[in-house]
Amino acid sequence: MSSDVFRTDQEFSDLDARWGELTSDESEPDPADAFVFQYRAVDERLGPNQRWSNWLDVERGSRGPEPRPDWVVTEQAAIDTELGILKTGKEADVFLVERAVEQIGDYPARSSLLAAKRYRTEEHRSFHRSTSYVEGRRTRNSRDSRAMAKKTSHGRSVAAGQWAYAEWDALCRLWKAGVPVPYPVQVDGTELLMEFIDDGDGGAAPRLAQVRPKGELLQSYFEQLREGMRELARAGLAHGDLSPYNVLAQGDRIVMIDLPQVVDIVGNPKGMDFLLRDCHNMAAWFTSRGLETDEQELFADLLSMVF
C-alpha cells in the first residue's frame, strides 16, 4: 500500500481489508505495510468529536469553486475535529472545526479552521418569515415537494437541506463575483462548511455592530459594503436580512455572512421591499456612527445595477 494521500473511498476499504489480513497472519509484515498500521492507529484513536474528512464523499458540485484558496485541505486522509460552538441561532448553529492531515512520509502536515453551519429541521427551528423569502424558488423533486407540504420527517429534512443549499449556491455565486463573503468549502445535507473569518488572534471576527470604527476606516467599511451590495444587485439579488449583525469586521475589511435567504429582486414579489430594508438597516447604522448616509440614494444606486 502506497503512503500517498488517499484519493478514494476504495482505498479506505483496501486498508481495512489489508488490516484484517495482517492481524490474522502470524508472518512478519512487509515494510510496505507500515502505512496500514499508521492509518489504523489513527482510525482507532479518533475521538467522539472527530471524523474522517468527507471532502471526496460529496458530489463534485458540492465542493468549493475553483480556483480554490491554498488553505483548503482536500486530502481524504484529513480528520475533522470539532473545537466548539461559535454561534447558536434560530435556524442553525455554527461550530468551529479544524480540518487537518498529519505528515505522511514526505507529504507535509496541513490544517485549516472552518465554520460548520448546521441547519435544524423545521421542528427545531423558527424561521417565521421563510415563506416570504422563498417565493420564486422551486423544488425540483415532486416527491420532496409533497413531503414538505405534508411536513413528514423526510419533508422537514428536505426543508432544512434546502436552506443549506440555498446558502451554498449564494456563497459560490457571490464569491466568484468578488462579493466579500466567506469561501464556501463544501455542503453535505444540512451542513455547510465555509471559511472561518478570524480576528487575527485566533478568535472569531466581531460583528460590525460590535465595533466602533471612525474616520477613514468607517468610510472604507461603507465603501466596501456598498460595493458588495452593488455586486449582489448586479446578480439580481438582495441579501434579504442585511444588518450590522450579519456583517463581520475583520481588521480593515468587512465580510457579509448569513445568506440562506438571499432574495431574487425581480422574481420575488417582495424583492424591492427586502432590498430597501437592507439599505435602511445599513444606512441607519453608518449614520449613527457619524457617517451621513442616505438610504434612498443607496437604494437608487443599487436599482441602477439591477435594471
Contact 247, 208 (CB under 8 A): yes
Contact 291, 284 (CB under 8 A): no
Tell me: pLDDT of 30 over 70.
no
Task: Indicate the pLDDT class of residue 156, thresholds 50, 70 and 90.
Answer: very low
Contact 109, 148 (CB under 8 A): no
Tell me: pLDDT of 154 over 90.
no
Please report, rounded to a whole number, the percentage of residues in the chain having pLDDT higher than 70.
Answer: 72
**Which residues are part of the catalytic machinery?**
241, 258
The helix or strand, by DSSP H or E, that contains position 112, with its residue range, turns out to be: strand 110-119
- The CA-atom distances, in angstroms, between 165 and each of 65, 83, 117, 190 are 14, 24, 11, 8
Mean residue pLDDT of the chain comes to 82
Q: Given its phi and psi angles, is residue 38 left (phi above 0), alpha (psi -120 to 50 degrees) or beta?
A: alpha
Residue 223 or 125, more confident: 223
Q: pLDDT at position 1, please?
A: 36
- Complete domains list, the chain, with CATH: 46-195 (3.30.200.20), 208-306 (1.10.510.10)
Distance CA 54, CA 171 (A): 20
Global pTM reads 0.78
Say which DSSP state 270 is in.
T
Contact 15, 40 (CB under 8 A): yes
Tell me: pLDDT of 202 over 70.
yes
Q: pLDDT at position 258, please?
A: 94
